[in-house]
Structure 1
Amino acid sequence: MKRLTMVLMDGGSGLNIMYTEKLDAMGVDRARIRPTEVPFHSIMPRKQAMLLGQIDLPVAFRGLSNYRMETLTFEVVGFHGTYHAILGRPCYAKFMAVPNYTYLKLKMSGLGRVITVNTSFQRAYKCEVKCCDHAVAIIASRELAAPRKEVAKEAPDPKRSTGSFKPVEGSKEVLIDLDNTEGKTMRIGTTLSSK
Structure 2
Amino acid sequence: MDGGSSLNIMYANMLDEMGIDRTNLYPIRAPFHSVVPGKQAMPLGQIDLTITFGDQFNYRTETLTFDVVGFPETFHAILGRLCYAKFMAVPNYTYLKLKMPGPHRVITVSTSF
Tell me if both proteins adopt one fold, taking TM over 0.5 as the criterion: yes
- The Cα shift of 1:64 comes to 5.2
The one-letter code matched in structure 2 to 1:118 is: S
- The Cα shift of 1:32 comes to 1.2
- Superposition pairs for residues 73-152 of structure 1, below 5 Å? 73-119=65-111, 123-124=112-113
SS at match of 1:80: coil
Comparing 103-112 with 18-27, which one deviates more in the overlay?
Answer: 103-112
Q: TM-score, normalised by structure 2?
A: 0.91
2:64 to 64, 72, 83: 72
Q: Is 1:33–2:60 an aligned residue pair? A: no
Q: Aligned residues, how many?
A: 113
Percentage identity across aligned positions? 68
- The Cα shift of 1:87 comes to 0.5
- The Cα shift of 1:112 comes to 2.5
Partner of 1:5: none
Which whole-Å CA distance do the structure 1 matches of 2:34 and 2:97 have between them?
Answer: 26
- The Cα shift of 1:14 comes to 1.4
- Structure 1 regions of 5+ residues with no counterpart? 1-8, 125-195
Which whole-Å CA distance do the structure 2 matches of 1:108 and 1:24 have between them?
Answer: 28
Structure number with the higher helix fraction is: 1
SS at match of 1:43: coil
- Structure 2 regions of 5+ residues with no counterpart? none
Q: Runs ≥4 in structure 1, deviation > 3 angstroms?
A: none
The one-letter code matched in structure 1 to 2:7 is: L
Q: RCO greater where, 1 or 2, for CA within 8 Å and sep 6 or more?
A: 2
